[in-house]
Every structure is written in structure tokens, then in C-alpha cells.
Structure 1
Amino acid sequence: MVVTFKHLEAFVWVADLTSFVRASERLNTTQPNISSRIATLEGLIGTPLFDRNGAKVHLTSKGQQLMSHARAVLAARDQFLQAADEKALTQGILRLGVTEMIVHAWLRTFTLALKAMFPNLAVELTVDMAAELERGLHARQLDLALINGPFQYPAASEPLGRYPMIWVAAPSLGLSGPLRTEDLAAHPILTHARGSWPHRLVADHFHVRSARLVPSSNLAACLQMTVDGMGVAVLPKAMANRELAEGALVTLDYPWTPDDLDFQARYQSEKAPGHVAKAASLAAQVATDFAAVNQ
């Protein structure tokens, strides 16, 4: 019996996720398989690598001593694959987190380009608020997050551009010309989900006015409600381009909007394999191409 890449992958992921179950999910196998790989590795080395007391597992002193070497071996394998420059050799799952704005802007273009670059790499997609996705990235539940700031945790990043927010409404509401705060407050104000950065900014702006904020965790539904004349909305312009072009929505002349959404492709460079960095760079190129046409 010899030490294999599978043994080292199990070792690294159990350590990073502090859980045999989560490591098995990350490596697309079963918890008994992960336990078997760790037990085999410990048998070959002749000493325990993990303390198994309590709900979480932690590295022993020997495990801590060997962890950097295990990462170096896996990094060397990744460098070999990059040097071979054969994209089909890159396999596994990329756990990708995106906000809903990316979904409605250029996610399809990105995933198609990613498939062309790495044909044997599967994408597991999570759509959520930026703050939740950043926490998932920090906990290593995600490999790559395409999210807007502000950011709480340090990470490697590729800029994805800034996306302006605009006020929009259905033409049937008859809102034209320079508008005052009370003009908007006369209608329900449809916003991002409660707890999101744009919602906080809108809530702060209207906090002393009698405005009715209607947050939504689904921006597509928020957009449709606005088209249907159920209120005014502040949304990323990139999401409303089609409706504006078709005349289903009009831009409102109001002197304040939330800050532009500053998007980045973020990942943990010290732990992520090379294809994650390449995927982040690809996202930056797709975002640049999208902005050239739509902004």
C-alpha cells in the first residue's frame, strides 16, 4: 500500500472543513470512504493525524506538521496539469457562488466559456446574497464567488466591474421629470433582500420618511413586479436593460441612488487549485465584454 492523491485530498479537506461528512460531500464520495482513506493514511504513517473528540475533528501535532507537505504535493500535481496545457485533464467539481444580478447579466456566457475551457469540470451552482456567499467561500464550501462588496474576509480577487443602480418604474405609473422623495414614497419601493447592502442603503435613505419598503430575495420577481406597476424599484441597470429597451420600464429622474455594486471574482489562492484562478480570470474577461456592450 502506498500514499495516493486520494489519501492526501481526504487529509486536506477533512482538515479544512473539520468534518469527515463535509469532506465526503466536497470530494463527491461517502463518509465511510473518507474515513477509510484517513485510516489507511494514518496506518501508513503510523500515527493519528486527527483528534476526533467532539463534533469537529482537528489536526494532531503530526497532522499539522504534515499538512503543508500534503498541500505542496497536490499543488505540484496541479502545476503538472497546467504545464501539460491539456484542459481535459482538469476534472472534478467547481463550486461556484453567484449573486442573482450575475445570473441575469452574464452567467450563461461565463458557464459556456468555462465548459469550453475545462470540458470535464462540472459546475455546482449556488445563488444567494453576497454576504452569504462570502461566508461560504471563507468556510471553503465554495471555490469561487462572483459577488459584490463590501467584503468581510481577505481573498484573492479579479475585478468584475462596477454596476450602477437605477430607479425604474412602469410607464403606467406616470412618473416623469425630476422627482422628489415624497413622489417615490407615494408608491411601494421594491428593493433587494433585507440584510443586503443595497437594501441597507435604501433603508438608510428613507428612514425618516413614510416610505414602504418591499424587500425581495428574488430580483427577477422584483423586476417583474415593477413591470406590472406594483411599485418603483432600484435595481442594477444590467438587470433591466431589456425591459428598458422594450419600453416596459422607464428610468426615473431621482437625484439619489445606492452606490454602484463593485463586483469581484474571489477565491482562496493559497488553497485553491490552478483552475479556480483561471476561472476567475475568465469571469473577469466575460464581465468586461458584457460591460462593453451593455453599460
Structure 2
Amino acid sequence: MIKSRITLKQLEAFVCVVDAGTFRKAASILGTTQPNISTRIAALESVLGTVLMHRDAGSVRVTEKGTALLAAARKVLLAGETFLEVADRQDLIEDRLRLGVTELIACTWLHDFLRAFKGLYPGVRVELDVNLSAEIEKDLIAGQLDLALQTGPFSRQMDGSLPLGTYPYCWVVAPSLTPPATFAALFDGPVISHGRHTRASLGLADAARARGLAVNQIVHSSSLTSCVAMAVDAMGPALLPRQMVMDDIAQARLTEFTCEWLPDTLDVFARFDPKRTPHFVRAAAELAVDTAR
């Protein structure tokens, strides 16, 4: 038998310091103090008789031995989580889920997802970041997010990736305005679209240039919610994901119209790194699949 000189809290502190990058951030994540984290790491190093990391001006450098032990520490922590899952005591899992979502998801089914996740893992705290998909991917690759619910395409593939569905775009206009009869007629006034560097807006600008139309009429907003509000306020026709404006169309605040051009549909995925994240992150991704349906 292994004597209980090494604790799960010590291993948790070790893994968290490496992932967070500093003792201060790890202490904040684990809800304790920086001296407590230092004490746990020092005690673990003392029992093992080896140095796991070097402290350098607020940051840490993991030693070669520490790197080898890091993977083993993750396995031990995952085994502890598995033990609670087998016992059907997910309520005893206390952790955090760093979740990145696009605004489209935040404005549609995110609240249903969060309620369902809270019911399954009441002890897991969700830290939410709503951002553009490109920024979410950067944070996911950097290890600053555990789970991303985002739109493709992606610059890097992730081992954990579950499709959440496709979301088509549509053209809408306020009922007080006459829907443009042609694509060219769209540009007789302001045309509302998402952020300048989003795939839909880039495609819209390319389609306009290909027809010899000026793109300075395109009004960009990094907020889809603001785009909807501008369309409802009759500032001009808007290119938006249909899921965002279904209620506005149903309640006659906006009118959908056809146009000769639409961007490709949005493909949405739940993405995570199964090598680094707890089991509940995959469970959250699978729950997102169910909720999105």
C-alpha cells in the first residue's frame, strides 16, 4: 500500500500551478492563498525528494522530472474523478469549467446548457467568456479555456471535437423598409453585418467587390445583438444568423427576404483537449450536443 504522505490537494496544486503559470493564479483558481499553494508544492517535493519546478520572478519553469510526473499527477486526479462518477456522486466534484462561447450561442441555448450542467455538477464553477471564435480558439490552444463552443473553421485541430450543428444566415429588414430587390440594391444604403474580420463579413465584401459595388456601405459591429437592434431600428438590411432573429421574424419586428447571395452556413463545435481536461469537460461537451439539438 502507498502511505498517505502524498495528498490529492498537493497533486492538484502541482497541476494547477503548471496550467495557470503562476502560484498566484493557481491560488485564485483553487480558492486558497498563495502561501498554501507554496506549502503544498514544497511538501510534495519534500516527500518525493525532487524539485518539480523553479520559481522565476512570478512565473514557474517545470523541471524535467516535474514534466514526467505531471502526466502521472493528471492521471491520479482523473482517477479520483472517475471514482466519484462510479459512485454517482458528481456533486462531490469541486472544480471550475473555463468556458468560451460565441455570441450566437450565448444568445440562443447557452442558458439552457448552463442550467443542465449545474444540475449535473453543482460543485463545478463556470467561468464564462463570450468572444469572437478566433479569439476563443487562441485561448483554447493556449490552455486558458477548458471548453469552447464555437464556429469553424479552425487554425488547429483539437482531439476533442463534437459537432453541434449548422446555422444558416439570412437577410432581414425592418417592416417599415422595402426589402432590396437585388444584391446590388442592398448597397443603396447601409448594410449591417457582423465584425469586419468574420467569415460572413469578409465574404460579403468579396461578393460586393466582385460585382463592382462599394463596400463602404457595410456597417460592421462586433456584437450580433447590436446588429439585430440596428436592423429592428430600420438602419438598413442586415445579414445575420437566422437563429439570432427567429423571434424577431415571428413577432414581425423583422422581415426575412431572399437575396442572390448568402455566406456559407456556420458550423458549430464543442472543442476541448482530452489530454489536459477533467472528465467533466467531455461530459459538458456531450451535454452541449444534447442542448443544441
Per the normalisation by structure 2, the TM-score is: 0.91
Indicate the residue corresponding to 1:192 in structure 2: 194
Task: Give the 3 Å change call, closer, same or farther, for CA 20–165 of structure 1 in structure 2.
Answer: same
- Counterparts of 1:144 and 1:94 in 2: how far apart (Å)? 7
- The two structures, once aligned, show a CA RMSD in angstroms of 1.8
**Structure 2 residue 94 is the aligned partner of structure 1 residue 91:** yes
Partner of 2:155: 152
- Which residue of 1 is the match for residue 23 of structure 2? 20
Deviations 1:253-285 (A, max 9, x none): 111111111001111111111111111111101
Partner of 1:232: 237
Tell me how far 1:135 sits from its aligned partner: 1.5
Distance 1:18 1:47 in 2: 20
Provide the secondary structure at the position in 2 that maps to 1:157: strand
Shift of 1:220: 1.0
1:159-202 superposed Cα distances (whole Å, 9 cap, x missing partner)? 110000111111212115xx323211112121112322322222
1:10–1:38 Cα contact (<8 Å) kept? yes
**Equivalent residues, number:** 286
Which residue does 2:106 correspond to in 1?
Answer: 103
In the alignment, structure 1 segments of 5+ residues that lack a partner are: 289-295
Could you tell me which runs of 5 or more consecutive residues in structure 2 were left unpaired when the two chains were aligned.
none
- What secondary structure does 1:3 align onto? coil
TM alignment of 1:166-185, pairs within 5 A: 166-175=170-179, 179-185=181-187
Give the SS at the match of 1:173. coil
> Would you say the 8 A contact 1:95–1:142 is kept in 2?
yes
Aligned to 2:146: 143
2:32 paired residue among 17, 29, 48: 29
- Residue number among 127, 147, 167 corresponding to 1:163 in the alignment: 167
- Measured in 2, the distance between the counterparts of 1:16 and 1:197 equals 32
TM-score scaled by length of structure 1:
0.90
- In the TM superposition, structure 1's runs of 4+ consecutive aligned residues that sit over 6 Å from their partners are none
Q: Aligned pair in 2 of structure 1 residues 16, 120: CA closer, same or farther (>3 Å)?
A: closer
Matched letter for residue 89 of structure 2: E
Q: Does 2:269 match 1:264?
A: yes
Measure the CA separation in 2 of the matches of 1:41 and 1:77: 18
Q: 1:213 aligns with which of 212, 218, 223?
A: 218
Aligned partners of 1:38, 1:213: CA distance in 2, in Å? 55
Q: Secondary structure at the match of 1:122?
A: strand
The residue number in structure 2 matching 1:202 is 204
Task: Check whether the contact 2:150–2:269 (CA below 8 A) recurs between aligned residues.
Answer: yes
* CA–CA distance in structure 2, aligned partners of residues 32 and 202 of structure 1: 54
Pick from 283, 288, 292 the counterpart of residue 288 of structure 2. 283
Provide Cα deviations, 1:78-118, integer angstroms capped at 9, x if missing partner.
Answer: 11112112231222221211111111111111111112222
Equivalent position SS for 1:29:
coil
Percentage identity across paired residues of the two chains: 43
Contact 2:179–2:237 (8 Å) recurs in 1: no
CA–CA distance in 1 between the matches of 2:120 and 2:231? 38
Shift of 1:54: 5.7
Letter of the 1:60 counterpart: T
Pick from 235, 243, 246: which aligns with 1:241? 246
Residue 251 in structure 1 maps to residue 253 in structure 2: no
CA contact (8 A) 1:82 1:274 kept: no
For residues 97 and 36 of structure 1, the distance between their equivalents in structure 2, rounded to whole angstroms, comes to: 32
